[in-house]
């Protein structure tokens, strides 16, 4: 069943989030406080980072909107009529999700677009995934020792979004808490961290924590994290390209209420005509990354070696033995259409490093060489080309 809990739609929401709190001391150069036009008390960047690292997520319900325009005009002009809206929105477009959260055992996520809705609902040990497209649903009864059974919740051990085991596999990647943790994971001495006044997000007063790369090679100019002044919950994350004034990527709440959702929110009955797939807990465990080892057939076309050239914001990831044909051979439907659209927009390049194809955007660049190496980073193409000649990338 294409919309099974074991397949792409549910797994596409998978994410992880971990931040080390030891970065606080190294990241903050000096005390910078909230703007005087706010009723919020003054907070330094270090204080905000500590509050983020010790946050206890309370029950809430809200609407999250994610928008992106990373500067891929050729892709936008391609025939994308067959591509999935949710996938395209990660690069160009927008998507909307409703979130209800009571605790780690009780939450609901609804991913919506103009044509369809997909819901992931957990109430105690019952876990449902439903898609209006195709009128299909998957259901399983989790075992007592399933993740979050200790009440830690989908935001990490003890409710901390940056500790414990991190976010659960079922939480969507566009939740601002997850996005904020990914941004904070990049904090190091190469990053300037400031509190740039305050903002109003989803009708709530928030501090604006700003991360600015000191490395001029980085395509990223800043990452702005709006932190709720009362609960310390991340409400919005914006990624702004260097020399730009508007964010190329943004995810944030447009509305949020810190009230416990009504119990009826988590009651689910498949609509009439829905095809239901019952999944045994053992089958779900086997599908997790820590399940059975991958076979040689599973790894066909996958990179055999990965290394990093450079450091900090201008780091270049190098993957070797990448076989694009093998990697895309098993794709079907929307996934195959998306892959074909990207491959069609790669431009031919050559230099002392060899020959290959490249794709550039406002926030990242990818270089695929004919010798099987793939280089990627939040840097211009010339940085990738230089990295390709580094002995560490050979």
Look at residue 35 and tell me if it is in a domain.
no
Provide the pLDDT confidence category of residue 167 given band limits of 50, 70 and 90.
very low
Q: Are residues 183 and 84 part of one domain?
A: yes
Highest mean pLDDT of the ranges 144-153, 159-168, 339-348: 339-348
Q: Residue 236's closest CA among 218, 249, 246?
A: 249
Selected residue with higher pLDDT from 97 and 148: 97
116 vs 297: CA distance, rounded Å: 34
Question: In the chain, pLDDT over 70 holds for what percent of residues?
Answer: 67
Look at residue 208 and tell me if it is in a domain.
yes
Q: Are residues 242 and 213 part of one domain?
A: yes
Strand partners for 98: 63, 110
Highest mean pLDDT of the ranges 3-17, 151-165, 321-335, 342-356: 342-356
Instruction: Say what the pLDDT of residue 147 is.
Output: 53
Q: For the residues 86-100, what does the mean pLDDT come to?
A: 73
Asked if pLDDT for residue 257 goes beyond 50, the answer is yes
55 vs 164: CA distance, rounded Å: 12
Residue that terminates a domain, selected from 286, 315, 347? 286
Q: Are residues 308 and 281 part of one domain?
A: no
Strand partners for 347: 358
394 vs 391: CA distance, rounded Å: 5
Q: Are residues 234 and 346 part of one domain?
A: no
Q: Are residues 308 and 253 part of one domain?
A: no
Q: Are residues 251 and 169 part of one domain?
A: yes
Task: Give the burial string for 97-110 (b: 16+ CB within 10 Å, else e).
Answer: bbbbbbbbbbbbbb
Q: Are residues 272 and 372 part of one domain?
A: no
Q: Are residues 336 and 215 part of one domain?
A: no
- Give the tokens for residue 234: 């991340």
Asked if pLDDT for residue 254 goes beyond 80, the answer is yes
Highest mean pLDDT of the ranges 142-146, 151-155, 248-252: 248-252
Look at residue 116 and tell me if it is in a domain.
yes
Instruction: Say what the pLDDT of residue 304 is.
Output: 52
- Give the tokens for residue 368: 């695929």
Q: Are residues 93 and 134 part of one domain?
A: yes
Q: Residue 181's closest CA among 315, 34, 21, 40?
A: 21
pLDDT in tens, 366-385: 999 999 999 999 999 999 99
**Residue 54: which CATH number?**
2.50.20.10
- Give the tokens for residue 182: 């990914």
pLDDT in tens, 265-276: 999 888 888 888
- Give the tokens for residue 17: 């989030």
Asked if pLDDT for residue 146 goes beyond 80, the answer is no
152 vs 167: CA distance, rounded Å: 10
Domain residues for the domain of 366 are 303-393
Q: Which of 23-27, 237-241, 252-256, 381-385 has the lowest mean pLDDT?
A: 23-27
Q: Are residues 314 and 267 part of one domain?
A: no
Helix axes 45-53, 176-184, angle to 10 degrees: 120
Residue the block writes with tokens 């007063």: 205
pLDDT in tens, 30-77: 344 444 456 899 988 888 887 887 788 899 999 999 988 887 655 444
Q: Are residues 237 and 364 part of one domain?
A: no
Selected residue with higher pLDDT from 235 and 297: 235
Look at residue 38 and tell me if it is in a domain.
no
35 vs 196: CA distance, rounded Å: 7
Asked if pLDDT for residue 28 goes beyond 80, the answer is no
Asked if pLDDT for residue 89 goes beyond 60, the answer is no
Q: What is the 3-state secondary structure of the chain? A: CCCCCCCHHHHHCCCCCCCCCCHHHHHCCCCCCCCCCCCCCCCCHHHHHHHHHCCCCCCEEEEEEEEEECCCHHHHHCCCCCCCHHHHCCCEEEEEEEEEEEECCEEEEEEECCCCEEEEEEECCEEEEEECCCCEEEEEECCCCCCCCCCCCCCCHHHCCCCCCCCCCCCCCCCHHHHHHHHHCCCCCCEEEEEEEEEEECCEEEEEEEEEECCCCCCEEEEEEEEECCCCCEEEEEEEECCCCCCCEEEEEEEEECCCCCHHHHCCCCCCCCEEEECCHHHHHHCCCCCCCCCCCCCCCCCCEEEEECCHHHCEEEEECCCHHHHHHCCCHHHHHHHHHHHHCCEEEEECCEEEEEEECCCCEEEEECCCCEEEECCCHHHHHHHHCCHHHC
Number of domains the chain is built from: 2
Q: Are residues 365 and 238 part of one domain?
A: no
Cβ distance 338 to 286 under 8 Å? Answer: no
Burial class (CB in 10 A: 0-12, 13-18, 19+), 384: buried
Residue that terminates a domain, selected from 286, 313, 333? 286
Residue that terminates a domain, selected from 252, 286, 320? 286
């Amino acid at each position: 069943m294409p919309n099974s809990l074991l397949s792409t739609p549910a797994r596409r929401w998978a994410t992880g989030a971990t931040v080390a709190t030891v970065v606080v001391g190294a990241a903050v150069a000096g005390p910078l406080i909230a703007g005087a036009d706010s009723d919020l008390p003054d907070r330094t960047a270090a204080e905000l980072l500590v509050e983020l690292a010790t946050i206890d997520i309370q029950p809430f319900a809200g609407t999250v909107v994610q928008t992106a325009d990373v500067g891929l005009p050729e892709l936008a002009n391609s025939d994308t009529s067959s591509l999935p809206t949710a996938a395209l929105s990660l690069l160009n477009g927008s998507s909307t999700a409703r979130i209800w959260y009571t605790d780690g055992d009780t939450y609901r996520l609804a991913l919506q677009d103009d044509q369809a809705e997909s819901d992931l609902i957990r109430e105690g040990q019952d876990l449902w995934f439903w898609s209006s497209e195709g009128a299909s649903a998957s259901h399983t009864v989790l075992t007592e020792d399933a993740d979050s059974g200790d009440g830690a919740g989908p935001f990490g051990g003890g409710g901390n979004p940056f500790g414990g085991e991190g976010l659960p596999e079922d939480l969507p990647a566009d939740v601002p808490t997850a996005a904020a943790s990914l941004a904070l994971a990049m904090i190091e001495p190469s990053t300037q961290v400031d509190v740039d006044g305050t903002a109003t997000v989803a009708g709530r007063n928030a501090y604006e924590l700003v991360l600015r790369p000191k490395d001029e090679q980085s395509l990223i100019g800043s990452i702005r994290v709006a932190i709720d002044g009362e609960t310390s919950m991340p409400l919005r994350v914006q990624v702004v390209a260097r020399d730009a004034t508007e964010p190329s990527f943004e995810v944030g709440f447009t509305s949020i209420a810190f009230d416990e959702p009504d119990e009826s929110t988590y009651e689910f009955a498949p609509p009439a005509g829905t095809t239901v797939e019952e999944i045994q807990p053992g089958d779900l465990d086997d599908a997790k990354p820590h399940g059975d080892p991958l076979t040689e057939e599973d790894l066909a076309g996958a990179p055999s070696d990965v290394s990093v050239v450079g450091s900090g914001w201008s780091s270049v990831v190098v993957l070797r033995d990448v076989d694009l044909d093998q990697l895309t051979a098993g794709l079907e439907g929307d996934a195959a259409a998306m892959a074909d659209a990207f491959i069609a927009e790669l431009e031919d390049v050559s230099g002392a490093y060899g020959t290959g194809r490249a794709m550039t955007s406002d926030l990242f660049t990818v270089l695929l060489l004919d010798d099987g190496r793939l280089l990627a980073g939040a840097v211009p193409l010339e940085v990738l080309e230089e990295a390709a000649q580094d002995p560490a990338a050979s």
